Structure 1
């Protein structure tokens, strides 16, 4: 059975002066990248990575091919820093979902952006944060319920930074008709608890769910950019001719003429 992805994306800068998140959505894939705060040009890092990753997409990858594409996109970050030493140290997280060989799904992840699946009303977190606080949780030093309020929750331990050691985790996932996925930056999950996220995801309207999730984070006092992609797995062929939709920094940087406008204010 052939599948395609139908998605809605939304992004807001929140109280910050610029949006360093980037996201894309297409029938064959979707992803969220969050430029690492505290470093230079996080918006450039996330936008450059996303655009290079999706440029010229024309085939369903296996895990090795997808890893190679992420490494190629990572080299773009390195090239920007090489041309301008002031950009040295820029980096981005990334979480993406792609249709792979034999109509299976590939999930790529590095950093603390997240992926969740919603199946028959049950929401499951599908990624593990590459972060200092997650390591504390794994070691039994911090309770999982305390992560949202931990003062060091934003310290990540892995990202795409243009370095040769950068390597996302790529895993296979079996698709199921009518599954819904959420890809999001930590601007959502640092401020909105899982139950509220699940309730927003359960509504039928993808666009409404994406908009509501961003609003929930902003209403909760998010001090960060907030970006979400809500993706449904549906039966049907995935066209590579349909141009991806970009939001956040990726809608402003490297954008060509076409349906690349930001879907949310901010």
Structure 2
């Protein structure tokens, strides 16, 4: 899409799962961006880490940014985690993964990523993982020590090598993509991808046109497959805002102005007094 900024028709679904006491996943969706974050297991207050980061990021309304601006916004949101730790030292070590897409100034989208939450793009029926896991097992795959098939069931596949914890060195890789109308993006926590093959995810994304229904179906499939983690899925369709305005009238314009939506831990923390950021 050239000359006109893309818009997202995005929805998400998050479930605590059958084996966890809290939902440490958090997500948000809007017409200008969407993201998922997963509190790092083994550390304190993973739900606080993911929700804090998601709310701070969404409050900035990151619409039409350059890559360096998005990277700066990620660092600013990461500082909120440090502020929590400075107020309460017992939170030292809390951290979160992060994967999000945002409408770029040039009409494309920007992917920002750290950790092992993933981003996939569905284009003309082909599903491709476009994020790279920051994980020990991915490093072993890169070195040729573990095959991709072995990585899927490796006992240490959940050990990540990068996250956001409020530390000065933290950051996210930012990559630019074109955004033709019709592309569909999926962002998810590893509660989906550790249990559901990419081929099964693709089948749902191809077969279910509605973004909200597709997100819920992916989560349901993961739970049915025995996921032992929280599961959060965001589905984003690239749409033409001009076409929407011409063909859907007032209802579409109201939808474009709808508030940012929050899911998982982000839906239960910090909601009071939140200003609309759409």
Tell me if TM exceeds 0.5: yes
Pair 1:97-2:113 in alignment: no
Aligned twin of 1:225: 230
Cα distance, 1:155 vs. partner? 0.1
Q: Distance in 2 between matches of 1:59 and 1:246?
A: 17
Select which of 204, 220, 227 maps to 2:209: 204
- CA gap of 1:218–1:110, structure 2 versus 1, over 3 A, is same
The answer to whether the 8 A contact 1:42-1:90 is kept is yes
Cα distance, 1:21 vs. partner? 0.2
Aligned twin of 2:258: 242
The answer to whether the 8 A contact 2:63-2:102 is kept is no
The answer to whether the 8 A contact 2:5-2:108 is kept is no
Pair 1:139-2:155 in alignment: no
Cα distance, 1:241 vs. partner? 4.6
Say how many residue pairs are matched. 260
- 1:4-54: CA deviations, max 9, x gaps? 000110000112010000000000000000000000000000000000011
Compute the TM-score of the two structures, normalised by the length of structure 2: 0.90
Cα distance, 1:257 vs. partner? 6.5
Aligned twin of 2:111: 107
Unaligned ranges ≥5, structure 1: 261-266
Unaligned ranges ≥5, structure 2: 243-252
Q: Distance in 1 between matches of 2:118 and 2:14?
A: 15
Q: Which runs of 4+ in 1 moved over 4 A?
A: 237-241, 257-260
Aligned twin of 2:46: 42
Aligned twin of 2:246: none
Cα distance, 1:75 vs. partner? 0.3
Compute the TM-score of the two structures, normalised by the length of structure 1: 0.94
Q: Distance in 2 between matches of 1:230 and 1:27?
A: 12
> Which piece of structure 1 moves more, 202-211 or 227-236?
202-211
Q: CA RMSD in A?
A: 1.8
